[in-house]
Amino acid sequence: MSSKTFQVAHFEIVRNLKKISFWLAAIAVPIAMALYIAFVALIGATTNEQISANNNTSDLRLGLYDALGYVQQYSFINADEQEQTVAKIASREQGLQEITDNHLDVLYIIPDNFATEHRVEVHVKNGETSIFDNYSAPIKQLLNNEAANQVDAVNYAVIAQTINYQSVNYDQEDNHIIDPSETISRMAAPIAATVLFYLIIILFGNRLSTAMVEEKENRISELLLTSVKPGQLIAGKTISLIVLGVIQLIVLIVPVVLMLIIANNYHLLPTNFVIAPSLASILSSLLLLFCAFFLFASICVLIGVVSPTARDASSYAGILVFSVVIPFMFFGQMNANPVNAIGYVLTYFPLSTPAAMMLRSIFGNLPTWEYWLGLGEIALVSFLSLRLAAYIFRRNAISFTAKINLKKLLGKPRKAWKN
């Protein structure tokens, strides 16, 4: 790296790190995640309390009118784990009268068409209508108990869908039994890389695409071009974008790792929560993430070079982001093993290559040779994008207001220095 490239990179890194907006964008996701977790935990706790309160029927007077005589046993185990009895009501009219007279809090009616309609009426005195109300729990238990009494245990389990299905998966190559935690561990690093890639695009995409526009918008390029070559400027800018992206990634990752460590120390994670990705999986995912970001940054630099304003650059970057999202629209095809034609097209179409490779890594259908072929393609396209950006920047750096004219930019260069 030449000294001037380093100076450009240094200047860009330092001035971006001084910007509050950079740090706001960097910490926005961890803060949003923390707020979301806190919100979910709070809502969850409140909801559980509410459900628990509503499920607790020990203080309620319950009655049941069973027109069919289906229910034989009028007691159940309530939320306090106490046996509670439901009063047997002789008729619908009597039950409704007792509700009206305030002798019952909840009246269940199994109507005479229950066998065909499968419907039970639940009449609640002073019942609060909300999503948490669950006055039907006692009658469900009574009906379940009756059903269990009338068929054998096996048939009841089948009908009630309480059978546990335990899968045993054998490796295709050496037939060893694959532990589910092994699969989770294999998928963990590619999933993390994919999430980080998309987060960095969302948070950093605009900065990437507008980075090369600033010199043109502020009429600085001509002043710069006597001191630094276009290639050096673009290389410096690209390096700074990658370094800033890595810093942003670290800011994203550190709080998540800290949260996991704290959760683990306080035994907040399930006891069978064991994710141990292999070093090879971590390294290959990191390399893919780095190359994917490099490709995205390079193309954004190219977009910045051909765009006269930051607004134009943002519009073009939107198209790029869309192309990165395309593999997710073909989730099923990416999951197929072996991968079908669409999967291959998305894997080797340069703009969708990183996302397609990441998805295939998650699903475990990306062979090693394809991994390296994909990385090679990403590196080549990135390099060509930067070369093209440098070429266009030289020709377009002082077109401060003109819209992009590809024919003019990429047309046959004039013969120079002809004697």
Identify the H or E element spanning 106.
Answer: strand 106-110
Q: Which stretch binds other proteins (CB under 8 A): 241-249, 256-264, 268-276, 396-404?
A: 396-404
Give Cα 382 to chain centroid, integer Å. Answer: 27
DSSP 75: E
* Helices and strands in the chain, H and E counts: 17, 8
In the complex, what is the shortest distance from the CB of residue 309 to other proteins, in angstroms, rounded to a whole number?
14
The yes or no reply on residue 311 touching other proteins (CB under 8 A) is no
Longest distance between any two alpha carbons in the chain, whole Å: 115
- Exposed (0-12), middle (13-18) or buried (19+): which is 163, by Cβ within 10 Å? exposed
Q: Which stretch binds other proteins (CB under 8 A): 7-15, 74-82, 94-102, 263-271?
A: 7-15
Give Cα 82 to chain centroid, integer Å. Answer: 43
Minimum CB distance to other proteins smaller for 21 or for 172: 21
The yes or no reply on residue 229 touching other proteins (CB under 8 A) is yes
The yes or no reply on residue 25 touching other proteins (CB under 8 A) is no
Choose, by CB under 8 A, the member of 8, 62, 86, 320 that binds other proteins: 8
Minimum CB distance to other proteins smaller for 24 or for 220: 220
In the complex, what is the shortest distance from the CB of residue 393 to other proteins, in angstroms, rounded to a whole number?
11
In the complex, what is the shortest distance from the CB of residue 307 to other proteins, in angstroms, rounded to a whole number?
17
Long-range contacts of 15-24 (CB under 8 A, 24+ apart): 16/207, 16/240, 16/244, 17/244, 17/247, 22/207, 22/244, 22/248, 23/251
Q: How many residues bind other proteins (CB under 8 A)?
A: 30
Choose, by CB under 8 A, the member of 224, 247, 253, 326 that binds other proteins: 224
E strand map for 111-148: 121-124
Q: Which stretch binds other proteins (CB under 8 A): 187-195, 313-321, 326-334, 390-398?
A: 390-398
In the complex, what is the shortest distance from the CB of residue 243 to other proteins, in angstroms, rounded to a whole number?
17
Q: Which stretch binds other proteins (CB under 8 A): 68-76, 97-105, 227-235, 361-369?
A: 227-235
Minimum CB distance to other proteins smaller for 406 or for 416: 416
DSSP 57: -
Minimum CB distance to other proteins smaller for 161 or for 401: 401
In this structure, how many other beta carbons lie within 10 angstroms of the beta carbon of residue 343? 24
Contact 352, 324 (CB under 8 A): yes
- Exposed (0-12), middle (13-18) or buried (19+): which is 347, by Cβ within 10 Å? buried
The yes or no reply on residue 400 touching other proteins (CB under 8 A) is yes
The yes or no reply on residue 412 touching other proteins (CB under 8 A) is no
Can you tell me whether residue 309 is helix, strand or coil? coil
Contact 368, 360 (CB under 8 A): no
Q: Which stretch binds other proteins (CB under 8 A): 40-48, 83-91, 177-185, 411-419?
A: 411-419
The yes or no reply on residue 223 touching other proteins (CB under 8 A) is yes
Choose, by CB under 8 A, the member of 122, 286, 394, 404 that binds other proteins: 394
Choose, by CB under 8 A, the member of 1, 11, 42, 258 that binds other proteins: 11
Give Cα 241 to chain centroid, integer Å. Answer: 24
Choose, by CB under 8 A, the member of 122, 124, 148, 398 that binds other proteins: 398
The yes or no reply on residue 342 touching other proteins (CB under 8 A) is no
In the complex, what is the shortest distance from the CB of residue 5 to other proteins, in angstroms, rounded to a whole number?
10
The yes or no reply on residue 15 touching other proteins (CB under 8 A) is yes
The yes or no reply on residue 225 touching other proteins (CB under 8 A) is yes
Bridge-based pairing of strands 62-66 and 87-88 is parallel
Per-residue burial over 102-124, b if 16 or more Cβ lie within 10 Å, else e, is: eebbbbbbbeeebeeeeebeebb
List the interface residues with other proteins, window 202-221 (CB under 8 A). 214, 218-220
Binding footprint of other proteins on the chain (CB under 8 A): 4, 7-8, 11, 15, 19, 214, 218-220, 222-229, 232, 394, 397-398, 400, 413-419
